[in-house]
Structures are given as structure tokens and as C-alpha cells.
A and B are shown apart, each in its own frame.
Chain A
Amino acid sequence: MTGMSGAVKFLVLFTALLYFGVLVIPPIATQPPTLPPGFETALATTAAASTISTAISLPASLLFAFYGLRRGLAPVMPAVTFSTAVPHTAVGLLLLPLFARLGVVDTFPAVVAAMSVVSTPIGVGTLSTLFSNRNKGLDEFLQTLSLNDLAIIWLYLRSAPTTVASTVLLMWLRSFSELGAFLIVGMRPATVGVYLYETFLRLGTAPAVTVALLVAVFGLVFSTLLFLLARAAER
């Protein structure tokens, strides 16, 4: 059994390296690194919008998850989480009439709002583990101590700081990596996704691949952080 377990372990390791290697090694080998102008601005815009979006979406996700799972509002949860099941261009198209009416299409607020719409379901999903039936007893105990729901949520959050941290990171990353909705309602100011897409269309493969590689390294760093947070949460 030990031999088989070792073989499976090797297979998993090999597949993981192959997965990342297939994405990263050919571009490095074939493309000279050329970074077109505007990347730093797009990066800063995306980081700022993702941060604001996460700050807005996190409390909303908390309330949706808590009231959905612990206060009997589960039937309305799909109204918030449905966007994970559809292409985000569809989300952009659904937002378009409202944003057009408000006159915010292709503006920073539109970018932040679109990010919030797509990252809130991620927050709800991750925080749902915090409010699952596993922790039902704590909730009931605190209710009979006359705490209000906000105080109960605060105590839940204190009980799982790593879950909260990984939720924040996951929501931020989801906002950061969004493109579909921006193609419809948030092309300006250009976020990294839009910048990458436009670079590919205007300047061709080589510069776009350089940007893609940078973004991949960025993603690798944050994914490692997420993994470490998840490990810490298990302990």
C-alpha cells in the first residue's frame, strides 16, 4: 500500500507541475519579454478597484451567508449566487441597462460595482462554512444569551480568523481576475484583464504573453497564500 501511495503522490506532483509548466514554460521559451506601456496603471487600477469592491462585498457576503444559513433565508440565496453559474458577459449585459441609465458605463464605479456582483457569491460560498450546521450549537447558545445577530456574527468571525482572511483574499482575487462583465460595462479605466485583452488584439501575441506571465506569477503568489491560509484554518 505504501508503494502505491508513493506512486499516486508522484502522479499528483507530476500533474501539478505539468499543469503549471504547460501554461508557463512555452511562453517563456518562445517569447522575448516585452512589456507594453500602461501595465502599471492597469495593475494599480485593478488593485484599487478590487480592494474597494472587497470592502463593499465582504459585509454583504457575511450578511447573506449568516441570514441564509442561520436565519432561514436560504431560499433567497440563489438570487445572490446565480452569477457563478453564468458567463460573466451575461452578468455585464444584465447590469448594462441600469448602468446606462445611471450614466456610469465604462467608469471606475462601474468596474467596482461589477467586481462586487461577481465576488459576492464567492464570499457567500466561503463564509457558508463558517455558519454551517457544524457551528449551530454556538449560535443557539449565543442567542439564548440575548446577543443580537451582529454580535453573534462578530463572535463567529473571531472564532475563525483564517477563514475570514482567506475569504477576503479569494474575493479580492476574484475581483482582480474579472473580465467578462467589464467587456460590457467596464472597459475604462482599463483593468488588467481588459489591458491584457486589448494588448493581444492591438499588439499581438508577444507583448500579451509577457503580461500573461506576469499575471500568472502574481496569481501563483496569491494562490500559495490562500493554500497556506487554508492549511492554517485546518489546524
Chain B
Amino acid sequence: MVILGRNGSGKSTLLQTLAGFIKPVKGAITVDGVDVTGLPPSRRNMGYIPQEPVKLPLTPRQALEYFGRFYGRGYMPLLKELGVDYLVEKRDVSVGEGQLLALALVMLRDPAILLLDEPVSSLDYLNKLSFWKALKNLRKPALVVTHDPLEAAYIADLLYVIEDGKVSGPYPNTMREMSKEALQTFNLYEKLRAEENKGPYDC
């Protein structure tokens, strides 16, 4: 699910409220029918990736081992599922790889839903595609907020619009095919596809 909105429309506020960092003035937040409104962020079973890139003070291996032990779960199968198992061998990660690592760490917890606050806004084009591809591989319910209509059209199954804090929709995503065509016009996209020898991304 994608919520599209302009700067200052309330996208991040909405996600922070759902994640538990802001108390709602009224209403209730439920996950799988369970009211989590009064619960702290740590107990909501939601995976949250903030807008600013997450910079962990650990190497990818250290972070994965730390959180793997924390959740009692091996990380390699998950990394392979995400298509980012190469991260384990890295000492330093780029901003884009950092966001992919954040996604992997969030998934180690196996949350009921992912809340993604413009997670690719500071990533370059190829890293954006890598992130959306990894997300697609997960087949996990995700609420993504973005200000980018092309990105929204590219990834949305359900498309909502937020303006002045009010959400409207869902709107049919009639732009999906057009967004794919638009993305294919970028040489970088073609380069990535050729490098990986895979078919076009179909998020």
C-alpha cells in the first residue's frame, strides 16, 4: 500500500503515529484485529524504516549476528530471500546498502507489517530499484509513504493520497505500466537488468 503526498502533508506523522512515536488524538490503531494504540513502539510488531538513512555502528555481519541472536533466528536464508546476501562480507556499506541492511534487520523480527517512510529518498537510482526488488521478494504487507508519483505508481498495489493530514483513496493504480515504461527509458535501469541478467522488475 502506498500513500502519496506532498512535503508537509502529514506522511511521516501518520507513519510515526502508527509506529507508536506519536500518540493519536483520537481513534485506535489495530494490527491483525489487536488494538495496539497504548503499546510502545517496541511491542507493536511493526517494522519501521525512517526517512533518514539508518547508520548502525556495526559492520553488516556484526549487526546481523547481534539481531539474529536477539530474535533467535538465522539471517542467511532471509538475506538470500532478499537477494542481499553479499552484504555479510562488506565492512562498510553505502547509504543504499545501509537501507537494505535495515530492511533485513527489520525482517529478522518478522513483523506483521512494514512501515516505510520514504526509505529510498536519499538513494541513487540503482539502489532504489534494489530496495524495491528486495521488498517485493519479501511478500510482506507494507505501508510506504512517498512524495514521488512515479515511485508510487511503480510499487503500489493500493494507492492512497494524503493532503493536510487527511487520507483519501484507494485509487486504482492505472499508471503502473506507464511507470515501468518510464523507468525502462533510463539507461541505468537497462544496465542493472543486463548486469543481473534478469527480467524487468515487476513490483
Q: Which of B40, B48, B70 contacts A141 (CB 8 A)?
A: B48
Q: Evaluate contact between B42 and A144: CB separation under 8 angstroms.
A: yes
By a CB distance below 8 angstroms, the chain A residues around B57 are 155-156, 158-160
Q: Evaluate contact between B58 and A144: CB separation under 8 angstroms.
A: no
Q: Kindly state whether residue B102 has any CB partner on chain A within 8 Å.
A: yes
On chain A, the number of residues with a Cβ less than 8 Å from chain B's Cβ atoms is: 16
Cα distance A155–B20 when bound, in Å?
21
Q: Evaluate contact between B54 and A138: CB separation under 8 angstroms.
A: yes
Q: Could you say which of A146, A158, A159, A160 has the most chain B C-beta atoms within 10 Å of its C-beta?
A: A146
> Given A137-B52, A155-B56, A143–B102 Cβ distance below 8 Å?
no
> Given A146-B42, A155-B57, A140–B105 Cβ distance below 8 Å?
no
Q: Kindly state whether residue B133 has any CB partner on chain A within 8 Å.
A: no
Place the interface of chain B in its size category.
Answer: 20 to 34
Q: Which of B40, B42, B55 contacts A138 (CB 8 A)?
A: B55
By a CB distance below 8 angstroms, the chain B residues around A148 are 42
Min CB distance B171 to A, Å, is 28
By a CB distance below 8 angstroms, the chain A residues around B56 are 138, 155, 159
Q: Evaluate contact between A145 and B52: CB separation under 8 angstroms.
A: no
Cα distance A140–B17 when bound, in Å?
12
Q: Kindly state whether residue B19 has any CB partner on chain A within 8 Å.
A: yes
Residues 104-145 of chain A: 1 if any B CB is under 8 Å from the residue's CB, otherwise 0? 000000000000000000000000000000001110110111
Q: Evaluate contact between A137 and B51: CB separation under 8 angstroms.
A: yes
Q: For chain B residues 8-59, which have a beta carbon within 8 Å of chain A?
A: 16, 19-21, 40-44, 46-58
Q: Kindly state whether residue B201 has any CB partner on chain A within 8 Å.
A: no
**B102 closest partner in A (C-beta):** A141
Q: Evaluate contact between B106 and A140: CB separation under 8 angstroms.
A: no
Q: Kindly state whether residue A28 has any CB partner on chain B within 8 Å.
A: no
Q: Kindly state whether residue A147 has any CB partner on chain B within 8 Å.
A: yes
Cα distance A143–B40 when bound, in Å?
9
Q: Kindly state whether residue B147 has any CB partner on chain A within 8 Å.
A: no
Q: Evaluate contact between A144 and B55: CB separation under 8 angstroms.
A: no
Q: Evaluate contact between A144 and B51: CB separation under 8 angstroms.
A: no
Q: Which of A145, A158, A160 contacts B67 (CB 8 A)?
A: A145
Q: Evaluate contact between B67 and A141: CB separation under 8 angstroms.
A: no
Q: Evaluate contact between B54 and A137: CB separation under 8 angstroms.
A: yes
Cα distance A141–B55 when bound, in Å?
10
Q: Kindly state whether residue B128 has any CB partner on chain A within 8 Å.
A: no
> Given A159-B55, A159-B57, A141–B43 Cβ distance below 8 Å?
no
Cα distance A140–B44 when bound, in Å?
13
Q: Which of A146, A156, A159 contacts B43 (CB 8 A)?
A: A146
Q: Evaluate contact between B42 and A141: CB separation under 8 angstroms.
A: no
Q: Evaluate contact between A141 and B58: CB separation under 8 angstroms.
A: no
Q: Evaluate contact between A143 and B41: CB separation under 8 angstroms.
A: yes
- Which 5 A-B pairs give the minimum distances between C-beta atoms? A159-B57, A137-B50, A158-B57, A144-B48, A137-B52
**28 A-B interface contacts by CB (under 8 A):** A136-B50, A137-B52, A137-B53, A138-B54, A138-B55, A138-B56, A140-B21, A140-B41, A140-B48, A140-B50, A141-B54, A141-B102, A143-B40, A143-B41, A143-B42, A144-B42, A144-B48, A145-B42, A145-B67, A145-B105, A145-B106, A145-B109, A146-B70, A147-B70, A155-B57, A155-B58, A158-B58, A159-B55
Which A residues lie at the B interface, using CB under 8 A? 136-138, 140-141, 143-148, 155-156, 158-160
Given known contacts A137-B54, A143-B41, A160-B57, what 10 new A-B pairs fall within 8 Å (CB)? A137-B52, A137-B53, A140-B19, A140-B21, A144-B19, A144-B42, A144-B106, A144-B111, A145-B109, A158-B58
